[in-house]
């Protein structure tokens, strides 16, 4: 039987290539930077699920009246001061006068309040050490800031997809008495894939990889039928069912498939017969002389 038209084979190859590209695209987003305007850029490219750009400025529109976020730690009495994006500059800590902190924390019983804390405060992480990544499966953007002081401190700021904006939460972990790891979590629509990164953070649900592939398949099928129908009608002067692209192939496909299955079955039977013949015999044996 004749092979399918070259155009059909090319279409299958293009679809397979698209699937591979999507799988690769969702592995991107591991070398990213979040600027003070809440724009996320990635040196290795953004995952396809997040579209062409990620804008987290929706979080900045939901901060406290003081101009910064205040988060209470799981450690009773400890308080954090942080911006959604960019270094914290509206609050200072006398115990950490050097560098540019990504966030500051005030310990329980600390002297003084913002904007100028005197003692019992610390920089959670150094802003210039920022390193961000995108996790498509968890719908989360994470930025790390090592180099906090005094002491060995690091900060991880997580932006998690959510249907509504909530005040950030904070926690800290003392790692073997050697360093303290701080985590601040923002939750809201601006961190959601597909559309959630628009300014203002519209609440748009993300699409799964399976849904994306289905949309690509449906879109490709519609384009194939539409373009093929228009071409056949205008260039060949046919209409109706006859104008569908490769109509002869599709009409003959069931019989071709049945014929291919029958041919494959015959070839398998022939291979099995040849495997059972004694060495040197090329013709089929009579039933009485078939080897055991």
Q: What is the pLDDT of residue 142?
A: 94
Quick check: 36 and 59 in contact, CB under 8 A?
no
Residues linked to residue 171 through DSSP beta bridges, in sequence order: 183
Q: What is the pLDDT of residue 26?
A: 46
Residue 33 phi, psi dihedral angles, 5° rounding: -135, 135
Q: What pTM value is reported for the model?
A: 0.58
Quick check: 164 and 188 in contact, CB under 8 A?
yes
Q: What is the pLDDT of residue 6?
A: 47
Q: What is the pLDDT of residue 217?
A: 82
Kindly state the DSSP code that residue 56 receives in the 8-state scheme. -
Helix (H, G, I), strand (E, B) or coil at 212: helix
Q: What is the pLDDT of residue 50?
A: 80
Digit-by-digit pLDDT tens for the chain (292 residues) are 444 444 444 554 455 445 444 444 444 577 899 999 999 998 878 887 787 788 999 888 877 667 678 777 766 678 888 888 999 888 888 888 888 999 998 875 544 566 777 778 899 999 999 999 998 878 899 999 999 988 889 999 999 999 899 888 888 888 887 888 999 999 999 998 864 443 334 444 455 566 677 778 888 888 888 888 888 888 888 888 788 888 888 888 888 888 888 888 888 888 777 776 655 555 554 454 444 4
* pLDDT 10s digits, 118-158: 778 899 999 999 999 998 878 899 999 999 988 889 999 99
The DSSP-derived string for 117-176 is: E-SSEEEEEEGGG-EEEEETTTTEEEEEEEEEETTTEEEEEEEEE-SS-EEEEEEEEEET
Quick check: 164 and 150 in contact, CB under 8 A?
no
Q: What is the pLDDT of residue 130?
A: 95
Q: What is the pLDDT of residue 197?
A: 41
Dihedral sign of CA atoms 242, 244, 246, 247 in order? negative
Residue 35 CB contacts under 8 Å (≥ 6 apart), including other chains: 41, 85, 86
Residue 65 CB contacts under 8 Å (≥ 6 apart), including other chains: none
């Amino acid at each position: 039987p004749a092979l399918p038209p070259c155009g059909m084979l090319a279409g299958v190859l293009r679809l397979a290539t698209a699937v591979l590209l999507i799988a690769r695209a969702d592995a991107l987003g591991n070398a990213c930077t979040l600027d003070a305007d809440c724009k996320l850029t990635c040196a290795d490219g953004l995952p396809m699920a997040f579209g062409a750009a990620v804008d987290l400025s929706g979080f900045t529109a939901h901060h406290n009246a003081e101009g910064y976020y205040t988060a209470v730690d799981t450690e009773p009495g400890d308080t954090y001061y942080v911006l959604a994006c960019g270094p914290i500059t509206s609050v200072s800590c006398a115990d950490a006068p050097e560098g540019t902190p990504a966030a500051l924390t005030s310990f329980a019983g600390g002297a003084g309040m913002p904007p100028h804390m005197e003692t019992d405060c610390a920089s959670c992480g150094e802003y210039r050490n920022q390193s961000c990544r995108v996790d498509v499966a968890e719908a989360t953007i994470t930025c790390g800031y090592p180099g906090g002081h005094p002491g060995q401190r690091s900060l991880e700021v997580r932006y998690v997809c959510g249907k509504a904006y909530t005040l950030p939460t904070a926690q800290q972990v003392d790692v073997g008495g050697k360093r303290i790891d701080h985590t601040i979590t923002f939750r809201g629509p601006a961190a959601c894939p597909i559309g959630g990164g628009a300014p203002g953070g519209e609440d748009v649900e993300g699409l799964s990889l399976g849904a994306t592939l289905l949309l690509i398949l449906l879109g490709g099928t519609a384009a194939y039928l539409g373009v093929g129908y228009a071409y056949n009608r205008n260039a060949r002067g046919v209409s109706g069912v006859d104008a569908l692209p490769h109509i002869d192939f599709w009409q003959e496909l069931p019989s071709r498939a049945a014929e291919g299955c029958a041919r494959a079955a015959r070839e398998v039977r022939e291979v099995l017969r040849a495997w059972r013949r004694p060495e040197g015999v090329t013709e089929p044996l009579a039933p009485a002389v078939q080897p055991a």
